[in-house]
Amino acid sequence: MVRRRHRRREPHLHPAAARPLGRRPRSGVPGVRRVLVRLRTPRGPRRARPVDGGVVSGDGAAATARPRGIFRRETKGFSAAPVTVRVERGRVLSFARLLGETDPVCTDVAAARAKGHPDVVAPPSFPMVVEMLAHEERSRQGVPNPTEVIGCDFRRLLHGEQHHTYEGPVYAGDEVSVGTTVVDFYDKRGGLLEFVVLESTIHHDDRGVLVRARRTLLHRLDR
């Protein structure tokens, strides 16, 4: 007896089945299509995101609570009472030496007077020292400084930009008044950085405004 081996017949595939999935053949014979079923599991409510740095409620609606941050933003527009400080010659000369200043009007009294100045001229960045002296004077008088009024946290505080506009020279021996105003608050990086802009003026009774200083301070906040 001869046993015949039956070869398993492969199923015949219509040419349309070899076409890319999801496309219909031109002959009108339906092709093989794959259907994907996406299973969805019940999802809870979306996590609320703060809007414009504000605190939001659990349903995602923006609340009217204060923005996240440390600065007291209600102090925008606050102006600290001016205090009077004296620009000592020794401070000007020491600061000029520290900077490596080479202009003799900033380092030599005789050279400054020969140029028509009453005393040595303070270097351009000396207004920072004047603001520091004003800070010390307010503390001595028991008057809150602007950094205290706006709620600076010195553990997180960073110094941003600083610009000076010079209206006239500051001389050694000048008595000047220094006032500071809180100009603005704003945020960056989605509220992770908050900024405050302060503007100070250094004023002389006879010569008017000598310097306008604008500086930016910032807090780096936690995520």
51 found inside a domain:
no
| Nearest of 110, 99, 79 to residue 182 by alpha carbon | 79
What CATH number did the domain enclosing 194 receive?
A: 3.10.129.10
Read off the pLDDT of residues 52-72 as tens digits, 9 standing for 90 and up.
Answer: 444 333 444 443 444 468 999
3-state DSSP call for residue 57?
Answer: coil
Taken in order 159, 72, 185, 212, the sign of the CA dihedral is: negative
pLDDT computed for residue 5 by the predictor:
57
What rounded mean pLDDT belongs to the chain?
Answer: 80
- Residue 149: which residues within 8 A CB-CB, separation 6 or more? 72, 75, 78, 80, 182
Rounded to an integer, what distance in angstroms lies between the CA atom of residue 122 and that of residue 10?
Answer: 98
77 found inside a domain:
yes
Q: Which domain holds residue 96?
A: 73-220
Residue 38 has pLDDT above 70, yes or no: no
Q: How many domains does the chain have?
A: 1
- Name the residue type at position 55: V
pLDDT computed for residue 64 by the predictor:
42
8 found inside a domain:
no
167 found inside a domain:
yes
133 found inside a domain:
yes
60 found inside a domain:
no
2 found inside a domain:
no
CA distances from 8 to 2, 5, 157, 194 (A): 18, 9, 81, 76
38 found inside a domain:
no
